[in-house]
């Protein structure tokens, strides 16, 4: 119980009893000097050694209650230590009483001696026997307090060791929390940077698609104009073909000649090419409705965006990347 109370007046920084204790807003308490040194050696904002909550020098509050409790506990433990010495005497007496009841199973004598060599209780007959010849002996009531002090030393060591393990556990927990926090920040940063790349790629995609549509519109405009001209020539030629075919199909000579007089002569003469000079060909040549017409070929080409789109966009994206500090 006293050991547990003693832990309550220990500073988790120096592991000693509180000296001029102060309390942080998070309700954790430390020696004023310990927390001041902690603040001076902290990088950036100081945080509570226990819970990692940030605080400033103005947040330190003198804890009179804890100081009074610490002083009271010190007095109490001093009294307890004094009583412990008295207890050793009492132990010796109790040991003597117990020894009076303990009997040697071999000689049926009271176990009044302690063999330091074999670390066992013995009787006076055992002491004189061959088994314990040359050994070192002490009265049992003298050996008991000495052995109990040894046990107390082990207990004190375990108490200190366990306190250090508590501190190590807390520190490891703090590092785990820092790792989780750092991992979350890095994940957010990675997500943000990938979103920037997505935005860049979406923007470039829209720009390249607009370029494709614009070039397509220009090319189609020229090609469609040419197609309209070809279609008009084709319709004119088709209408004339139908007209002449209907005349050829007239069976009556007089009606055919009447058509010839009214339309046929002018139509056929209008189709003929005129050759001037002595070398004019005797063969009749007609004007072609397809004369001067040609097909505009597909020449749509987007250079590197058509052949090496990924490579060039990647180079553009590299130029836009700014290293994070």
Which CATH number does the domain housing residue 77 bear? 3.30.40.10
**Token duo for residue 15:** 């592991």
Long-range contacts of 177-182 (CB under 8 A, 24+ apart): 177/52
CA 72 to each of CA 15, 50, 61, 69, 75: distance values in angstroms, whole numbers, following the listed order: 18, 25, 20, 5, 5
pLDDT at 1: 44
pLDDT tens digits, 192-228: 989 989 999 999 999 999 999 999 999 999 999 999 9
Average pLDDT for 36-47: 84
**Token duo for residue 28:** 């954790």
pLDDT at 320: 77
Per-residue DSSP letter, 45:
S
Average pLDDT for 269-273: 87
Asked if residue 151 belongs to a domain, the reply is no
CA 146 to each of CA 81, 139, 141, 153, 252: distance values in angstroms, whole numbers, following the listed order: 16, 11, 10, 11, 155
Is residue 314 scored above 90 in pLDDT? Answer: no
Phi, psi angles (nearest 5°) of residue 17 = -65, 150
Asked if residue 181 belongs to a domain, the reply is no
d(CA 316, CA 228): 42
Q: How many domains does the chain have?
A: 1
Mean of the per-residue pLDDT values of the chain: 85
**Token duo for residue 165:** 């393990």
Q: Which domain holds residue 49?
A: 1-87
Of 64, 65, 43, 52, the C-alpha closest to 25 is 52
Task: Confirm if 58 and 100 have CB atoms less than 8 A apart.
Answer: no
pLDDT at 307: 83
Average pLDDT for 161-175: 88
Asked if residue 41 belongs to a domain, the reply is yes
Is residue 294 scored above 80 in pLDDT? Answer: yes
Average pLDDT for 271-279: 68
pTM: 0.43
d(CA 46, CA 48): 7
Give residues with Cβ within 8 angstroms of 107, minimum separation 6: 123, 125, 126
Confidence of residue 99 (pLDDT cuts 50, 70, 90): very low
Q: What is the 3-state secondary structure (H, E, C) of 180-235?
A: HHHHHHHHHHHHHHHHHHHHHHHHHHHHHHHHHHHHHHHHHHHHHHHHHHHHHHHH
Average pLDDT for 262-272: 90
Asked if residue 324 belongs to a domain, the reply is no
- Identify the H or E element spanning 138: strand 137-139
């Amino acid at each position: 119980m006293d050991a547990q109370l003693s832990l309550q007046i220990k500073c988790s920084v120096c592991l000693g009893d509180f000296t001029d204790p102060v309390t942080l807003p998070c309700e954790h308490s430390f020696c004023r000097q310990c927390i001041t040194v902690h603040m001076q050696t902290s990088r950036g904002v100081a945080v509570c050694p226990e819970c990692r909550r940030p605080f400033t020098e103005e947040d330190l509050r003198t804890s009179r209650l804890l100081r009074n409790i610490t002083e009271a506990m010190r007095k109490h433990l001093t009294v307890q230590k004094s009583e412990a010495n008295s207890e050793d005497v009492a132990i010796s007496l109790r040991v003597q009483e117990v020894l009076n009841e303990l009997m040697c199973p071999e000689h049926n004598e009271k176990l009044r001696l302690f063999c330091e060599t074999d670390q066992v209780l013995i009787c006076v007959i055992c002491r004189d026997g061959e088994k314990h010849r040359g050994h070192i002996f002490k009265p049992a009531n003298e050996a008991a307090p000495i052995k109990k002090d040894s046990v107390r030393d082990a207990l004190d060591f375990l108490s200190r060791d366990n306190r250090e393990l508590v501190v190590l556990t807390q520190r490891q927990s703090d590092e785990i929390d820092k790792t989780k926090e750092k991992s979350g920040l890095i994940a957010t940063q990675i997500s943000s940077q990938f979103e920037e790349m997505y935005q860049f790629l979406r923007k470039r995609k829209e720009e390249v698609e607009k370029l494709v549509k614009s070039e397509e519109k220009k090319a189609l405009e020229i090609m469609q104009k040419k197609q309209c001209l070809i279609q008009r020539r084709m319709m004119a030629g088709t209408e004339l073909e139908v007209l002449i075919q209907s005349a050829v199909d007239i069976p009556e000579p007089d009606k055919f000649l009447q058509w010839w007089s009214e339309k046929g002569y002018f139509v056929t003469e209008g189709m003929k090419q005129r050759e001037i000079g002595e070398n004019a060909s005797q063969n009749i040549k007609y004007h072609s409705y397809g004369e001067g017409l040609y097909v505009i070929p597909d020449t749509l080409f987007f250079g590197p965006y058509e052949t090496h789109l990924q490579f060039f966009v990647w180079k553009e994206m590299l130029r836009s990347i700014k290293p994070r500090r």
